[in-house]
Chain A
Amino acid sequence: METSLIQQYTAKDFKSDQYVRWCPGCGDYAVLNTLQKVMAELGGAPHNTAVISGIGCSSRLPYYISGYGFHTIHGRGAAVATGVKVANPKLTVWQITGDGDCLAIGGNHFIHSVRRNIDINVLLFNNQIYGLTKGQYSPTTKKGYVTKSSPFGTIERPFRPAELTFGAGGTFFGRVLDVDLKSSAMTMMAAAKHKGTSVIETLVNCVIFNDGAHGWLSEKETRYDRVIILEHGKPMIFGKNSDKGLVAEGFNLKVVTIGENGVTENDVLVHDAQCQDSTLQLKLALMEGPEYPVALGVIRDVATESYDEAMENQIAEIQAKAKIKTFDDLIDSCEQWDM
């Protein structure tokens, strides 16, 4: 029986025949490869996968995936993806977007797709710069940074994507670093399995216009002293030697060294990505160096009915009790008379 077969896909099954055209050394390559592996591991067929993007370097990604793809217009990927998912809820829908596409021109669609909790997986490539238009500052560029459009340094305060996601009532927030493949795959898997809008802030390096923006995190030697990979139900321990941890102190988090000052593993906070209250999760998401490690992995993952599910359910419920079943019934329901 065909139904008893479990189709096994490999990353190759998700590679299209198109030549990948990002700049050599671009962080997007690593994310694309990881995504293709994750898609294969998820087990869904390429033809049940839709990848939707807006405009920008990262938004070229749909061309490189062998499923159904739609490279749309600047900023509108979230809205297009919403329509795709609502119209065809069986599809696994990925939205590919960048910090300009998602948080500047597409900011409105982003917060509203998060608010509605439409079941899509959003890969937000954050390189803190406009690459495709050749190097203007973006809504996530650090204040004071010199770019072509801010020759004397930006005077703008940057967005922190986590704050927007949490502020819009997000049910899933994760963060990955282009070069950290294992935690990236783990986070994307969790995002795909989450029902609702899964936002993954994807820290990627633009080698041309903003090289090293995340360099502080990327160096292999020091990386695991500077990032913490969060996993639900596990103690928040990090460091090259796994000797550092996060504890609560007053209203704040604090980094401690296990074994110093009588601190033991038991004192370290255990991550709860499923906690409805997002206060502590947001604190984790906003941690910055050098005082704190930057959080990677699944920071928030809370189950709630998704928008598309709610729409299907409402239609089914109304249809079950409706007297009007067909178009001719609808016509008959009119106040009508003979002439």
Chain B
Amino acid sequence: MSNTKTTELENVVVRFTGDSGDGMQLTGTLFSNLSAILGNEISTFPDFPSEIRAPQGTVGGVSGFQVNLGASKIYTPGDEADVLVAMNPAALKVNSNGIKKGGVLIFDEDSFKKSDFDKAGFKTENPFEELNISDTIQLISAPLSTLTQSSLEGFEMDNKSILRSKNMFALGLICWLFNRPIEQAIHFLTNKFSKKPDLLKANIKVLTDGFNYGNNLHLSISTYTVEKSHELPKGKYTSISGNKATAWGLIAAAKKAGLELFLGSYPITPATDVMHELALRKDMGVKVVQAEDEIAGITTALGAAFAGALAATNTSGPGLALKSEAIGLAVMAELPIVIVDVMRGGPSTGLPTKTEQTDLLQALYGRNGESPAVVVAASTPADCFHYAFMSSKIALEHMTPVILLTDAYIGNGTSLWKLPKLAELAEIKPNFAKPGMEGLKVTARDEVSKARYWSIPGIQGFEHRNGGLEKDYTTGAISTDPLNHKKMVDTRQEKIDYISNMIPELQVEGDKDADLLVVGWGATHGHLMTAVNALNKQGKKVALAHFNYINPLPKNTEQVIKSYKKVVVCELNSGQFATYLRSKVPGEYLQYNKVQGQPFTVTELEEHFTGLL
């Protein structure tokens, strides 16, 4: 029996941290999903090191998984944690700045010994004082390792495997703390370990003991409840990562267009999961070539586009640099291709596992010649599906490369996704050459949209030669004629500009009659929206205009921007979108920039905006 009191919360942030081998990602995922099933809104953010297994117990090897559970609309995984689970002192050290005042720290006291403090680089044996948090947080100390060992007494497992199960003990404890029935967790585990019955049994035992440990020991701490959210449209939901949603958006687009999906790809963090997901989808007929390098990733895809497939390639910043010349070829040959760039910290190898928005200008301009391409950016893990779908639609209908920008934060993070049906999605009508057009030239195009007609090899009467050399506007033959070149340059630009007729107008969210317009793009939407909503609640006049279509810009961009006296462009770089906006809609823009490999925090945004009012 527990006599602890229960606190009801609007939202709560839990962060699981430990060695990268401690199973924190699994623990976090299970806890998030079971909370979602219980009706909470969720947003998650995994944060892991680029080292696969750094030396155990060191700060270099700390892996984290943060989830924000909400009883109402939430947009981000949250800033600081209400509850931090730290499996060792290194995890505490890395995350000590990320705990709320009055928050709860759950730690494994078996891993908080002298040798562990040494490995984590603590000078004393009191890490809490050393970090100056002993007075501001509540500690729940539990000997997780020992408890797990005794929980699994009698199981035929070696000690290493037993200790590996301690993440389930922590999960059980967290379930108790949040008044979560563990049945749902057991259900997940049953699915996950269906082929390993012994492991399943052990995990369930440890999970249950973890829950009971909290319940029985009358831990003198308040437990939490987060009520069901009623703000989402009714329907069936799942929790999905941005990279998986991107992969599925491409699949849906191929089905809708009646084409085969082809992905040419080379492994690169944090984008590889897109390839993993598509490689798995042979049932959907997806063809994936794991290429010999980034260049072959896109050029195999361009070959597939030439041959009539929905072609895509996925990468991150350094890979996008390598693909530049081939994107130029796609511009010149006017072939449809989707290039997914899951951005990470740069330049060069930079911060492979950390998030940033620093590839924007590379996507817009990183090519030789006058080489316009469409640039689209997704905002949330779930809406990567929509924007991957729309990127494909634009590519196929307008015969152009489309660069879809996501980033490590939404690529790896998850959010709730309302499951779609194929029939509900927009139609995709590739700009095929049609029967009756036999003999058309390679440069033949729709007069209005300027989209070149797509003739697929294997069909009689449409044979043609395409390529990277400039072509004559009329005959399609190679040409160096000065005026023709100018005409072709203009035509390729007009084709991209025309797409602004097809994309939605820019929306203003928050207080439309605002003194300050916050402008953002891509994956920062959640943080910006949360900050703007919070300020609106305080009666402050702030609004948000958030961009998903970057090139071309929505048609009403100028009109929106000019309606506000003060505009601040917020982005995770040194001001790339601000620079771009200044070139498109000249005017005065304030900037708020962060280049730390981390998302914004709502707190810093609120403070900054308040200062601007």
Assess whether B307 is in contact with A47, with CB atoms less than 8 Å apart.
no
Assess whether B459 is in contact with A319, with CB atoms less than 8 Å apart.
no
Give A328 to B477 CA distance when docked, in angstroms. 45
Say whether B39 faces chain A, with CB atoms less than 8 Å apart. yes
Q: For residue B296, which residues in chain A have a CB less than 8 angstroms away from its CB? A: 76, 79, 82, 108-109, 112
Chain B: which residue is nearest A105 at the CB level?
B295
Say whether A73 faces chain B, with CB atoms less than 8 Å apart. yes
Assess whether A334 is in contact with B419, with CB atoms less than 8 Å apart.
yes
**Can you list, as one digit per residue, whether each of B416-437 has a CB less than 8 Å from chain A (1) or not (0)?**
1001111000000000000000
Say whether B66 faces chain A, with CB atoms less than 8 Å apart. no
Q: For residue A81, which residues in chain B have a CB less than 8 angstroms away from its CB? A: 303
Assess whether B462 is in contact with A335, with CB atoms less than 8 Å apart.
no
- Within A51-99, which residues are at the interface with B (CB < 8 Å)? 52, 62-63, 65-73, 76, 79-88, 90-91
Contact of A109 among B238, B248, B282, B292 (CB under 8 A): B292
User: Given known contacts A79-B300, A315-B282, A336-B236, is B458 in contact with A90 (CB within 8 Å)?
Assistant: yes
Q: For residue A338, which residues in chain B have a CB less than 8 angstroms away from its CB? A: 234-237
Assess whether A339 is in contact with B416, with CB atoms less than 8 Å apart.
yes
Chain B: which residue is nearest A45 at the CB level?
B460
Assess whether B289 is in contact with A91, with CB atoms less than 8 Å apart.
no
Assess whether A76 is in contact with B237, with CB atoms less than 8 Å apart.
no
Assess whether B458 is in contact with A84, with CB atoms less than 8 Å apart.
no
Assess whether B285 is in contact with A70, with CB atoms less than 8 Å apart.
no
Assess whether B465 is in contact with A87, with CB atoms less than 8 Å apart.
no
User: Given known contacts A87-B307, A112-B292, is B237 in contact with A336 (CB within 8 Å)?
Assistant: yes
**Can you list, as one digit per residue, whether each of B11-55 has a CB less than 8 Å from chain A (1) or not (0)?**
000000000000000000000010011010000000000000000
User: Given known contacts A47-B457, A88-B457, is B468 in contact with A68 (CB within 8 Å)?
Assistant: no
Assess whether B457 is in contact with A84, with CB atoms less than 8 Å apart.
yes
Assess whether A63 is in contact with B465, with CB atoms less than 8 Å apart.
yes
User: Given known contacts A47-B462, A315-B285, is B293 in contact with A108 (CB within 8 Å)?
Assistant: yes
Contact of B300 among A45, A83, A331 (CB under 8 A): A83
Assess whether A335 is in contact with B287, with CB atoms less than 8 Å apart.
no
Say whether A5 faces chain B, with CB atoms less than 8 Å apart. no
Q: For residue B281, which residues in chain A have a CB less than 8 angstroms away from its CB? A: 330
Give A328 to B465 CA distance when docked, in angstroms. 38
User: Given known contacts A72-B468, A88-B457, is B422 in contact with A328 (CB within 8 Å)?
Assistant: yes
Assess whether A71 is in contact with B283, with CB atoms less than 8 Å apart.
no
Assess whether A335 is in contact with B33, with CB atoms less than 8 Å apart.
yes
Say whether B264 faces chain A, with CB atoms less than 8 Å apart. yes
Say whether B90 faces chain A, with CB atoms less than 8 Å apart. no
Contact of A80 among B235, B262, B284, B303 (CB under 8 A): B303
Residue from A71, A85, A315, A327 with most neighbouring chain B CB atoms (10 Å): A327
Binds A, one of B127-135, B325-333, B542-550: B325-333
Say whether A1 faces chain B, with CB atoms less than 8 Å apart. no
Contact of A79 among B291, B419, B477 (CB under 8 A): B291
Query: What number of B residues sit within 8 Å (CB to CB) of A?
Result: 72
Give A335 to B189 CA distance when docked, in angstroms. 12
Closest CB in chain A relative to B30 CB, distance in Å: 11
Assess whether B326 is in contact with A87, with CB atoms less than 8 Å apart.
no
Assess whether B457 is in contact with A86, with CB atoms less than 8 Å apart.
no
Q: For residue A73, which residues in chain B have a CB less than 8 angstroms away from its CB? A: 299, 325-326, 328-329, 468
Give A81 to B303 CA distance when docked, in angstroms. 6
Closest CB in chain A relative to B181 CB, distance in Å: 14
Say whether A311 faces chain B, with CB atoms less than 8 Å apart. yes
Contact of B477 among A18, A85, A86, A322 (CB under 8 A): A18
**Can you list, as one digit per residue, whether each of B272-304 has a CB less than 8 Å from chain A (1) or not (0)?**
000000000111110101011101100111111
Give A327 to B424 CA distance when docked, in angstroms. 12
Assess whether B33 is in contact with A80, with CB atoms less than 8 Å apart.
no
Q: For residue A76, which residues in chain B have a CB less than 8 angstroms away from its CB? A: 295-296, 299, 326
Residue from B260, B307, B326, B462 with most neighbouring chain A CB atoms (10 Å): B307
Assess whether A326 is in contact with B422, with CB atoms less than 8 Å apart.
yes
Chain B: which residue is nearest A17 at the CB level?
B477
Chain B: which residue is nearest A326 at the CB level?
B422
Say whether B229 faces chain A, with CB atoms less than 8 Å apart. yes
Q: For residue A82, which residues in chain B have a CB less than 8 angstroms away from its CB? A: 289, 296, 300, 303
Contact of A87 among B39, B303, B468, B469 (CB under 8 A): B303
User: Given known contacts A112-B296, A327-B422, is B306 in contact with A315 (CB within 8 Å)?
Assistant: no
**Can you list, as one digit per residue, whether each of B381-425 has a CB less than 8 Å from chain A (1) or not (0)?**
000000000000000000000000000000000001001111000
Assess whether A83 is in contact with B459, with CB atoms less than 8 Å apart.
no
Give A83 to B255 CA distance when docked, in angstroms. 19
Closest CB in chain A relative to B306 CB, distance in Å: 5
Assess whether A71 is in contact with B466, with CB atoms less than 8 Å apart.
yes
Assess whether B308 is in contact with A87, with CB atoms less than 8 Å apart.
yes
Say whether B101 faces chain A, with CB atoms less than 8 Å apart. no
Chain A: which residue is nearest B187 at the CB level?
A335
Say whether A208 faces chain B, with CB atoms less than 8 Å apart. no
Closest CB in chain B relative to A92 CB, distance in Å: 10
Say whether A212 faces chain B, with CB atoms less than 8 Å apart. no
Assess whether A337 is in contact with B37, with CB atoms less than 8 Å apart.
yes
Majority secondary structure of chain B interface residues (helix, strand, loop or mixed): mixed
Q: For residue B465, which residues in chain A have a CB less than 8 angstroms away from its CB? A: 16, 18, 62-63, 65, 68-71
Say whether B478 faces chain A, with CB atoms less than 8 Å apart. yes
Give A68 to B229 CA distance when docked, in angstroms. 56
Chain A: which residue is nearest B37 at the CB level?
A337
**Can you list, as one digit per residue, whether each of B455-488 has a CB less than 8 Å from chain A (1) or not (0)?**
0111111111111110000000110000000000
Say whether B232 faces chain A, with CB atoms less than 8 Å apart. yes
Closest CB in chain B relative to A322 CB, distance in Å: 4
Say whether A6 faces chain B, with CB atoms less than 8 Å apart. no
Give A71 to B309 CA distance when docked, in angstroms. 18
User: Given known contacts A87-B262, A112-B296, A331-B419, is B457 in contact with A50 (CB within 8 Å)?
Assistant: yes
Assess whether B467 is in contact with A337, with CB atoms less than 8 Å apart.
no
Say whether A48 faces chain B, with CB atoms less than 8 Å apart. yes
Say whether B311 faces chain A, with CB atoms less than 8 Å apart. yes
Say whether B251 faces chain A, with CB atoms less than 8 Å apart. yes
Residue from A72, A315, A330, A339 with most neighbouring chain B CB atoms (10 Å): A339
Say whether B252 faces chain A, with CB atoms less than 8 Å apart. yes
Say whether A222 faces chain B, with CB atoms less than 8 Å apart. no
Closest CB in chain A relative to B243 CB, distance in Å: 15
Assess whether A70 is in contact with B422, with CB atoms less than 8 Å apart.
no
**Can you list, as one digit per residue, whether each of B238-268 has a CB less than 8 Å from chain A (1) or not (0)?**
1110000000100110010000101010000
Assess whether A327 is in contact with B251, with CB atoms less than 8 Å apart.
yes
Chain A: which residue is nearest B455 at the CB level?
A68
Give A91 to B422 CA distance when docked, in angstroms. 31
Give A18 to B476 CA distance when docked, in angstroms. 11
User: Given known contacts A80-B303, A335-B238, is B308 in contact with A88 (CB within 8 Å)?
Assistant: yes
Give A88 to B307 CA distance when docked, in angstroms. 6
Chain B: which residue is nearest A332 at the CB level?
B419
Chain A: which residue is nearest B233 at the CB level?
A339
Assess whether A91 is in contact with B39, with CB atoms less than 8 Å apart.
no
Chain B: which residue is nearest A317 at the CB level?
B282
Contact of A70 among B36, B289, B466 (CB under 8 A): B466
Q: For residue A70, which residues in chain B have a CB less than 8 angstroms away from its CB? A: 303, 306, 333, 465-467
Chain A: which residue is nearest B461 at the CB level?
A47
Give A84 to B383 CA distance when docked, in angstroms. 31
Give A117 to B43 CA distance when docked, in angstroms. 45
Q: For residue A235, which residues in chain B have a CB less than 8 angstroms away from its CB? A: none
Closest CB in chain A relative to B251 CB, distance in Å: 7
Residue from B308, B421, B463 with most neighbouring chain A CB atoms (10 Å): B463
Contact of B458 among A86, A91, A326, A339 (CB under 8 A): A91
Assess whether B467 is in contact with A72, with CB atoms less than 8 Å apart.
yes
Say whether A239 faces chain B, with CB atoms less than 8 Å apart. no
Give A323 to B260 CA distance when docked, in angstroms. 19
The 3 closest A-B pairs by CB, nearest first: A83-B303, A71-B467, A87-B304
Question: What are 15 A-B pairs at a CB distance below 8 A?
Answer: A68-B457, A69-B467, A71-B465, A72-B299, A79-B299, A80-B299, A82-B300, A83-B262, A83-B301, A327-B422, A328-B422, A331-B419, A334-B419, A338-B235, A339-B232
Known pairs A112-B292, A337-B238. 8 more at Cβ < 8 A?
A70-B306, A73-B328, A83-B264, A83-B302, A84-B307, A86-B300, A87-B309, A338-B235
